[in-house]
Amino acid sequence: MAHTDSGGRGQTPPLSSADRRAARGRRFRSIAGTVLSLVLTLLGLLLVTFIIGRVMPIDPVLKVVGDRASQAQYDAAYQAMGLDKPLYIQFIGYIGDVLGGDFGRSISTGQLVIDDIKRVFPATLELAALGTLIGVCAGVPLGVIAAARRGGIIDQVARVVALVGYSMPIFWLGLMGLLLFYGILGWVGGPGRQGIIYDGMLPSVTGLVLVDSLLARDWAAFKDAFSHIILPASLLGYFSLAYISRMTRSFMLEQLSAEYITTARVKGLSETAVIWRHAFRNIAIPLVTVIALSFGSLLEGSVLTEIIFSWPGLGQYITKSLLAGDMNAVLGGTVVVGTCFIALNLLSDLLYRVLDPRSK
């Protein structure tokens, strides 16, 4: 029988030592499974990029020594790059290099790939983060209201918005946005991350121009940077909004049809309390995963946006490197993007466990 306190409320009896050991064992198995999955996924990513680097019809030796090198120079470079060793030895060495942050040297820039990535990745991170923020702030309320008023005007608008967001080519929207808001109306800054007058003038602390301008209290630079980022970020945010609003609506419809919602309404709770205090609280956990995946997809899928807006980010860097046959840069950027996806999945899983004790 459960013990009761003075107020008559039941107290859960303390767990026995066997129950505590079983709970610790479950937690250990869960953590071990997560770590093993993380390691296997990372190895799979490295294996895929390694194979791509070997099957591409591009001779990495010729990219280094040039077309006019003698056979002796070619052979020396071939051995120096370790290409004469068995593939499994090359793969082990490749894993060691990547874990040490060594992606080789970029043929296009002449610098270490890791240094190039450190330089361009903050631009992509800033663009994707602002795009995700726009998508969340607009997509979540839209999805919730659409589900609460199913079949109404807002629901129909949400469906159209999601449909257009999924089907409209991003490069066309980008070009039309530049033509209208920059070329005709002049409401936003043009292509690039900053105006020429501010290029190189702002001290780089985080690599995020908006943050650095705030830290420097340079409001003119902040305004200029915001005018350049708002259009491409809104474009990415629209595609994020389409996905997030659709998933939010689906989650909410499932919750609103549950029995506990009917019970809450019978008890006389207001519709606002039913929707936001009860139904929305239960979809917050899966919504974390949706937002994390949306952010990861913007990190990966901003290539066309960066090209259209001349945004000096990772997507543009990988594209230019691919066109130049610079496989070290391409594979390094691919590994970074893949690692970001793995990290975001791990983060969403950890948040899931924190927010939902039942999943522990």
Buried/exposed 215-243: b ≥16 CB within 10 Å, e otherwise:
eeebeebbebbbbbbbbbbbbbbbbbbbb
Q: Quote the percentage of the chain above a pLDDT of 90.
A: 24
CA 325/CA 58 separation, integer angstroms: 7
* pTM (2 d.p.): 0.81
Structure tokens belonging to residue 250: 């689906």
Identify the structural domains of the chain with CATH numbers, from first to last. Answer: 25-99 (no CATH), 113-359 (1.10.3720.10)
Question: For residue 1, what pLDDT is reported?
Answer: 42
Residues 216-230 have pLDDT tens digits of: 898 999 999 999 999
Structure confidence at residue 233 (pLDDT): 94
Are 215 and 205 a contacting pair, CB within 8 Å? yes
pLDDT tens string, the chain, 360 residues long: the values are 444 444 444 444 565 666 666 666 666 676 777 778 878 888 888 888 888 877 777 777 776 777 777 778 777 877 877 777 888 888 888 888 888 888 888 888 889 999 999 999 999 999 999 999 999 999 999 999 999 888 889 888 888 888 888 788 888 888 899 999 998 998 998 888 888 888 777 888 888 999 999 998 989 999 999 999 999 999 999 989 999 999 999 999 998 888 888 888 888 888 888 888 888 888 888 898 889 888 988 887 778 888 899 899 998 898 888 888 788 888 899 889 888 888 888 887 777 777 665 555
pLDDT per position as a tens digit, 83-131: 778 888 888 888 888 888 888 888 888 899 999 999 999 999 999 999 9
